[in-house]
Structure 1
Amino acid sequence: MNLTFSKLTLHLRSVAMLLLFAIPALTQAQDEDLLFIDNTYVDNIKTVRFHLDGVLHSYPLIELNGSGKLRLSFDDFNDEVRRYSYKFIHCDQDWQPSSLSPLEFNAGNTIGYFDDYDFSIRTLRDYIHYELVFPNRDMQISASGNYLLVVYDDEDETIPVITRRFMVQEKLAGVTGRVMRPSIVDQIHTHQEVDLTVGTKQMQVRNPLRELRATVIQNNRWDNAVTGIVPSLLQNDAVRFDYQGQVSFFGGNEYRNLDIRSVRAPRTEMVSVTNEEDGYAMMMQADRPRDNGTYLGYIDFNGDYINDRFEELTLQLTQESQSGETFDRFDYNYSGDYVRMTFVLATNTKLDRDIYLFGGFTENQLKPEYKMVWNTQISAYVGQAVLKQGFYNYHYVVEQNPPPGSTKASDRFTYDYIEGSFDETENDYLALIYWRPIGGRYDRLVGTSQMNSNVD
């Protein structure tokens, strides 16, 4: 009898182990059509914001077992409430699915649902605003590293509507970095270089050249990230990532600012402001190219945007408010209106290549809907975007053929012709240090450092 029981126990353990290692393969097969980048897949979803809870302008980075949380919010132009679900996919440092099963990195449920939503109030364009804060009691994270947050319409869980990258770190490595002028002569006036020093005293690193890697991103952009950086110098209890020209970025130019927090009196100069059935429409005063070799510094959000409104709603004691309506619904998340914004870029002559709007609101991608169109009547490029009231950053970038063998999305466009690139430009940088011990099954994120090009 004991022998039979032992055989049964062994069989059950074998089945459990088989399922444990089969889950990642099944998950990967189910998500073959996913883009492992920040992306919105459907037209009815607008204004996707993802940041630290309580810090609107921040990296989606939290500490393992820490108190920090992340907040995802978006507006849905559908008339009816949808049952949106979400899940996490654990990734390696290259943003490919890791070998961990959900049971190994998620201490809660494998699928969660959006329960926090409400309808817009007193807006020309009706929408439903959804919010999610995690980790929460249903979805908890138990391993560091890279993650992809995937949001599905519950009507069809095979089709994603939103994906967003985020990181979870365990503070084992002390990371210091500096942003400096490049050592390569051809890049001195157009680029910025990042050097890193990583303390490894709290880690048992046997082979740093094999186990440690660094990634550096600029302004929360992944399209131009420098990844897979190998230590260049080994020291006692520390390693350095110090290369000439390898960890360098185009400085770019300060982002252009668009201030439409007020629909009655926008701070950005407009040619026209009209009131339409499904929102407001604005046309800006024409922008002009800045690629003239002269840098002009001013404050921006480094490509990000923040939603806000200046106008205060006139509150009336309606039947709705008498029944217990919360005043939280009167903030900009539910009362911000939408604007069909027309951008104008006066170049006088048409270029032999395409121009795109680019920034946080385009998800730092060259998207067809943000392609500028040449207007012969005004000798300028014109483009449109549907934007919620707020303060936006944007660039005009020019499409180009990437160098042979390049896989970087940022190599598909250039700052030449319109914006220019300067070493003086103020930019944010985030360094990520990954550690996969010999025999380890996933890339642990063991240290980070946030830097600014204007701060020594």
Structure 2
Amino acid sequence: MPFKLFSFLPILLIAHLTFCQVEEMPPPDYIKTINFKGNTPETQLPILKLGEYVVLEFDALNGDEDDYYYKIEHFNSDWTPSVLMKSEYMDGFDNQRIRNYENSFNTYQIYSHYMLTIPNAQTRRLKVSGNYMLSVFNSDDTLVFSRKFMIYENTTNVGVRVKRSRDIQFIEEKQRVEIVIDSKTMQFNNPKQAVKAVIVQNNNLNTAISNIKPQFTIGNQLIYKYDTETSFWGGNEYLFFENKDVRAANTGVQSIDLKDLYHNYLYTNFERASRPYTYNPDINGNYVILNIDAENPSIESDYVWMHFSLLPVASLKNKNIHVYGNFNNYVIDESTKMVFNESLNVYTNSMLLKQGFYNYKYIVVDNDKSIDEGAISGNFYQTENNYKVIVYYRDLGARYDKIIGIGEGSSINISN
């Protein structure tokens, strides 16, 4: 009996690992500017229609011209591995070398710029919709980084409206999302179990609300008019800077300096939570690589040390403050942490970023790793936020979760 129990334990462990939710692997320090995008100039959460292409770009700053390989895996709606064989979701092969790369040109920081387009000659087609993970490995088959993306079928109409909170306590601070799902080509079987909706604010999967069930149905329409279940903190407009001309002070840049690389010192920011809301157009946390003097910004844009600074207030004392945005896929680590400089009486951070236009904000990270986006920036219902709704469907007897529709809405015209 002890032998049988001992031999059964690895099976239980494997089963547990098999059904764990997958997380993205952040890159090492020498991998920078991972652009994962579809048909838009700025980096966003890649959600593509079945048959469209997606482009992955990144820079390796070690100057070694290393070989990198990619693999693609399919996942269920909750990011557990699906049971599909690779041949069922892919026409062609993965585990191929990324062949398209160029070295930087006329830059102080030497780097190699890699670009992968899917589909390509080796990976000819992704055949089914759903959640995917693209993982990049080095020549030793060690995982370097991974990124999530989604493919959808346009078989349903997804209406998205953004409203103020019904809760008087949060009416000035929160936004709620109402959804209507309708299809003229398919019949929803058992929608309470088969249909799942995910709401993503500003392309940030870390704060997404998932596994939302339809509240009620009218004919073949699925209606979602929740309050708390689909509510988000409004946040505030992102701060931004632009350094497409690295030799001159641009928007948000107070001064520049050239040492081994260019250094850009941003204007000192201040706490906005206790101040009135002010509309300030942004690109909802995203960024765009730009160089005013370059024909090809991907290889001619230089890397610059960006120096952030934030005025202290009593409420921030002994708090963990970080710079936050899509420039690093909303990752929180030591490189984004603000450090208090006693001689200048400000919080500071220095970060190596590629030339362009960037959105960012300051957040507080609690000891339990929870994020408070409003502690410094504030939460206002008037804030312009982008919301994407991803609708998953698994019919009776189906073996994977389809994405049957995508909806998008903005809070710019928010109503009661």
Pairing 1:170-319 to 2, within 5 Å after superposition? 170-277=153-260, 279-312=261-294
CA offset digits 1:17-54 (Å, max 9, x no partner): xxxxxxxx89x77x99x9523x4331110011111145
Matches within 5 A, 1:104-183: 104-139=88-123, 140-153=125-138, 155-157=139-141, 159-183=142-166
Deviation at 1:272, TM superposition (A): 3.7
SS in 1 for 2:169: helix
Which residue identity lines up with residue 263 of structure 2 in the other structure?
A
TM-score (norm 1): 0.83
For 1:299 and 1:450, how far apart are their aligned partners in 2?
18
Given that residues 374 and 382 in structure 1 are in contact (C-alpha distance below 8 angstroms), is that contact kept between their aligned partners in structure 2?
A: yes
Q: State the one-letter code of the partner of 1:102.
A: K
Unaligned runs of 5+ residues in structure 2 are 1-13
CA separation of 1:396/1:266 partners in 2, compared to 1, >3 Å: closer, same or farther? Answer: same
CA deviation after TM superposition for structure 1 residue 180, in Å: 0.7
* Cα shift at 1:431: 0.3
| Bigger Cα Rg | 1
> Counterpart amino acid of 1:426?
E
Q: For 1:375 and 1:214, how far apart are their aligned partners in 2?
A: 45
Range 413-422 or range 144-153, more displaced: 413-422
Tell me the amino acid that sits aligned with residue 85 of structure 2.
S
Task: Tell me the residue number matched to 2:64.
Answer: 80
Choose the corresponding residue for 1:341, options 299, 306, 318: 306
Fraction of identical pairs, as percent: 31
The TM-score normalised by the length of structure 2 is 0.91
Comparing 387-396 with 106-115, which one deviates more in the overlay?
Answer: 106-115
The residue number in structure 1 matching 2:297 is 332
Distance 1:417 1:238 in 2: 39
In terms of mean alpha carbon deviation, does 414-423 or 207-216 score higher?
414-423
Contact preservation (8 Å) 1:53, 1:133: no
Alpha-carbon shift at residue 110 of structure 1 (Å): 3.1
| Counterpart contact for 1:36–1:148, Cα < 8 Å | no
The Cα of 1:58 is off from its aligned counterpart by: 4.4
Q: RMSD of the TM alignment (CA)? A: 2.1
Structure-1 separation of matches of 2:285 and 2:296: 24
Q: CA deviation at 1:61?
A: 1.3
1:29-68 map, 5 Å: 36-37=23-24, 39-53=25-39, 55-64=41-50, 66=51, 68=52
| CA gap 1:437/1:417 in 2 versus in 1, 3 angstroms | closer
Letter in 1 for 2:106: R
SS at match of 1:209: helix
Equivalent runs, 1:344-383 vs 2, <5 Å: 344-347=309-312, 349=314, 351-383=317-349
Output the CA distance in 2 between the equivalents of 1:121 and 1:376: 40
In 1, distance between residues paired with 2:272 and 2:249?
A: 23
Instruction: Tell me the alpha carbon deviations over residues 267-289 of structure 1, each in whole angstroms, 9 at most, x when there is no partner.
Output: 13545422122x21122221111
* Runs of at least 5 residues in structure 1 that lack an aligned partner in the other structure: 1-24, 313-329, 403-408
Cα distance between partner residues in 2 of 1:50 and 1:42: 17
> Counterpart amino acid of 2:338?
M
Give the direction of change, closer, same or farther, for the CA distance of 1:124–1:364 in structure 2 (3 Å limit): same
Give the Å deviation of 1:427: 0.6
- Kept in 2: contact 1:348–1:380 (CA 8 A): no
Give the paired residue count.
Answer: 398
**Aligned residue identity for 1:122:** N
Q: What SS does the aligned partner of 2:298 have?
A: helix
Q: How much does 1:348 deviate?
A: 5.1
Report the residue type matching 1:207 in the other structure: N
